[in-house]
Amino acid sequence: MQIVLGDITCEKVDAIVNAANERLQHGGGLSRAILKRGGPTIQQESNAWVQRNGPVSHAEPAWTTSGRLAAKTVIHAVGPVWGSGEEQAKLAAAVTGSLRVAEQLGLSSIALPAISTGIFGYPTAPAAEVILGAIEAYFQEHPDSSLKLIRLVLWDHTSLETFLKTCQV
């Protein structure tokens, strides 16, 4: 596992995780940045996904191709809005679901953001605990996972420091 400062839309991994809403409307935050860099194909495939499968749940992320992004796939994880109730469980489910989807797709590398800490308002320190805990729990349950690289890509120095401090505890 790596924890880095960077722009997840530039990551050269098999999949990046998008912090999405349940309707996969990529109008703000990380979703908008992914759509802007990746192109309209991502929104078109997202619309088709929702039309076929209905709204995306926390535990069952959607996935699309990546358009013009360096990554091959975008996994669209629905994180909780802070204050919506059961935030810890929803965030853990979004992380676990993302890892499960990547493994089901036979991928070996994935980059995740600090899901829900942007426009969804989840405080960074508690989110770091949940995200890191969910990753650890997943690999304890799946020691033979196809996933060999998990990269947490954080946008700002404060988030990076928070995740690094949490990882050391």
pLDDT digits (tens, 9 = 90+) for 42-60: 999 999 999 999 999 999 9
Tokens of 137: 């729990």
Task: Quote the pTM value.
Answer: 0.96
Q: What is the CATH number of domain 2-168?
A: 3.40.220.10
| pLDDT, tens digit (0-9, with 9 covering 90-100), for 65-75 | 999 999 999 99
Q: In the chain, what percentage of residues exceed pLDDT 90?
A: 95
Q: Is the dihedral of CA 111, 36, 115, 169 positive or negative?
A: positive
Which amino acid appears at position 23 of this protein?
Answer: R
Give 3's pLDDT tier (boundaries 50, 70, 90). very high
Domain ranges of the chain: 2-168
Cβ-contact 137, 96 below 8 angstroms = yes
Tokens of 92: 């853990």
Burial of 92 (0-12, 13-18, 19+ CB in 10 A): buried
Cβ-contact 62, 5 below 8 angstroms = no
The confidence score (pLDDT) of residue 169 equals 64
Distance CA 159, CA 163 (A): 6
